């Protein structure tokens, strides 16, 4: 505990000296969330980086998130404390797969989840989050849409929008969210009969259908007051429970499955945050041609959603 307080103090001191800003994803370790200036989902963090009055941003999340922040903040120094913290799902969608599906469905809009690499997002027509994917696709003048890289999100969006949504690649998934099964829903109902169950759209269909609310991490957090229960079972990566308990101390939160841990998110520690800030490593850079492509796809998305 003394060591953590010392690390906290060193990080705060360096942050003030360098005029830096620390961002942490909802799935980060509790102590990393607590030292951050802002905690949120991947898009919220990138947008916060744009608004932050800081030249140095320390991004505590997996690789595609730090990349996205670098794309949207070309004039800022974006640091990723642990380069080995990657997103397995993002790696499932390659440029070769994108080109294959583009050739197979030449008239279908290509919508890519923000949980993908900058290289493939630059090839997209639109870039979405789990929070706005269904809304964006519902507004497109197309009955058939390509969506990658998460097949469960694609299935969820199809159910909500009524459109035919083809997942690319066919079996793309988040290794953490496919841990949840219908049996976990049944056990939670038995153990916490008064509880409401919330789940992420990256979960499989039987989990989404069994939940009381399905949404992104930011939507889950905002939904808690309207759930009508003081007990909530959470069907996403367990790291979010720390934030939920802080924001709603009068409610009880339990994981739908305690094994839902993203080992890559947890690679970032206070030690790695301190090292990254002190030595200004590891800088995230995205080739300008790629960054331009991603920004154009994001702008098209904002235009369709009426955010521009």
Mean pLDDT of 14-26: 96
Q: Which one of 3.40.50.300, 3.40.50.10800, 3.30.1330.10, 3.30.230.10 gives the CATH number of domain 89-175? A: 3.40.50.10800
Tokens of 49: 């980086």
> Superfamily for 2-86+265-286?
NadA-like (3.40.50.10800)
The topology (CATH level 3) of 177-255 is Rossmann fold (3.40.50)
Structure tokens at 106: 């030449």
Q: Does the structure show a pLDDT above 70 at 65?
A: yes
Q: What is the pLDDT of residue 308?
A: 63
pLDDT band at 66 (very low <50, low <70, confident <90, very high): very high
Please give the mean pLDDT across all residues of the chain. 96
Does the pLDDT of residue 2 top 60, yes or no?
no
pTM of the model: 0.95
Burial 189-214 (b: 16+ CB within 10 A, else e): eeebeebbbbbbbbbbeebbebbebb
Neighbours of 287 (CB within 10 A): 11
């Amino acid at each position: 505990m003394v060591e953590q307080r010392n690390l906290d103090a060193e990080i705060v001191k360096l942050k003030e000296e360098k005029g830096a800003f620390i961002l942490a994803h909802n799935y980060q370790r509790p102590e990393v969330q607590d030292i951050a200036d802002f905690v949120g989902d991947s898009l919220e963090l990138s947008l916060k980086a744009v608004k932050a009055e800081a030249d140095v941003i320390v991004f505590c999340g997996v690789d595609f998130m730090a990349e996205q922040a670098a794309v949207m903040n070309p004039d800022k120094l974006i640091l990723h404390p642990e380069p080995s913290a990657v997103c397995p799902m993002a790696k499932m969608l390659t440029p070769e797969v994108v080109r294959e599906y583009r050739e197979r469905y030449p008239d279908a809009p290509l919508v890519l989840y923000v949980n993908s690499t900058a290289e493939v997002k630059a090839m997209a027509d639109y870039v979405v989050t789990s929070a706005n994917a269904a809304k964006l696709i519902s507004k497109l003048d197309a009955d058939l849409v390509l969506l990658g890289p998460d097949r469960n999100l694609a299935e969820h969006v199809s159910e909500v929008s009524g459109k035919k949504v083809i997942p690319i690649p066919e079996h793309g998934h988040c290794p953490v969210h496919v841990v949840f099964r219908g049996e976990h829903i049944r056990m939670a109902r038995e153990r916490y009969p008064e509880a409401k169950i919330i789940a992420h759209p990256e979960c499989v269909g039987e989990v989404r259908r069994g939940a009381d609310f399905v949404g992104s991490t930011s939507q889950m957090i905002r939904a808690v007051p309207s759930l009508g229960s003081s007990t909530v079972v959470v069907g996403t990566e367990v790291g979010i429970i720390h934030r939920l308990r802080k924001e709603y101390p009068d409610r009880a939160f339990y994981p739908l499955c305690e094994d839902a841990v993203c080992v890559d998110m947890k690679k970032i520690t206070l030690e790695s945050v301190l090292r990254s800030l002190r030595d200004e490593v590891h800088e995230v850079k995205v080739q300008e041609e790629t960054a331009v492509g991603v920004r154009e796809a994001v702008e098209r998305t904002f235009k369709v959603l009426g955010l521009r």
